[in-house]
Structure formats: structure tokens, C-alpha cells
Amino acid sequence: MADLIRTGEAAAILGCSRQHVVDLADSGALPVTSVGSHRRLRRSDVERLARGEGGTLRREQERSRWLHVAVAGELVAEPDRVLGIARANLDRLLRLHPRGRAHGLLRRWERLLDGDIGTLVDTLVSRREESVDLRQNSPFAGVVSDEHRARILSAFAAKY
């Protein structure tokens, strides 16, 4: 029983709302135990989710994925414009990060930008760990208009 925590505690660990934790539990993405009429979660399950393990994304990872879904739409509609913006951003970011983990991720983006559009789109929207990591160092700033970005973030906030 000591390993069981309340949904509010889980929300604090995950950095999301209590309702989002309830939704995760109700959808089966996060195992839940009933204690009387209350939901309880194993701390280890919540911490695993917080580390991004188990296929379900943390709130900020899912928010980033939503924004990158919009980038993927722009890429399909206007590949030359989007790739131009991404390459210019990438050049600037590579100068800012000449070594280390960020540099390695940026080099991976460089290979993706020079490759197949389908693979790039898949990477932008995927829940895979590699895609989650890459989105943390995304060269796609400025691709989605401020107005469109605001609408996406508003819709995301309403859902999560």
C-alpha cells in the first residue's frame, strides 16, 4: 500500500492536471487500483511514465508532438518553404551547440532534412523515443504562424 499514490500526487509528478491522470487511468494508459471509491496508482508506474517509458508521453512531450503535427502539415503543403526555414534554423543551432547531446540530435535532424519527406513526417509525429528526443531540439521554429500555434496550444490546453 505504501507504493500507492493519489491522482493528485501523480499529477504533480507528471506535471499535468489531476483530470489528465484520471483520463490516463480510464483509458488504460496508466494502471489504476481502486481503494474504496478512490483511484490509487503505483508510484513506480507514474515515475516510469514521467521518464517517458511505456509508450505514453508526458504532457509537455504530447504538446510538442501536437505542434510538430502542424509542422508536418506545413511540410507536406509547402516543402521548399519549410525545409528552407528548418535548414536556416539548423545552421544557427549547430553554431550554438558545437558539441554534446544537442549537437548529435541536430546532426540527426540534418540527415532527416536531406532524406525522404515521408520519413521526416513520420519522425515529426511519432511517439517513438527517438522522435521525442529529437523534438526537444527542433529546427522548425517559425514554420507555424503565431496564430495557428496559439490555436493548437489552446486546443491542447482544453484537452489536457
Q: Residue 2: is its pLDDT beyond 70?
A: no
Q: Are 14 and 59 in contact (CB under 8 A)?
A: yes
Answer whether 50's CB lies under 8 Å from 58's CB. yes
Please say whether the beta carbons of 59 and 160 come within 8 A. Answer: yes
- Assess whether pLDDT exceeds 90 at residue 79: yes
Task: Quickly state the pLDDT bin for 27 (edges 50, 70, 90).
Answer: confident
- In order of 29, 66, 136, 137, the CA distances from 125 in angstroms are 19, 8, 13, 14
Most confident of 9-18, 28-37, 131-140: 131-140
The mean pLDDT of 34-43, rounded to a whole number, is 89
Which pLDDT belongs to residue 26? Answer: 80
What are the pLDDT digits (tens) for 92-125? 999 999 999 999 999 999 999 999 999 999 999 9
Which amino acid, 49? L
pTM over 0.75: no
Q: pLDDT digit string (tens) for 53-62?
A: 655 677 888 8
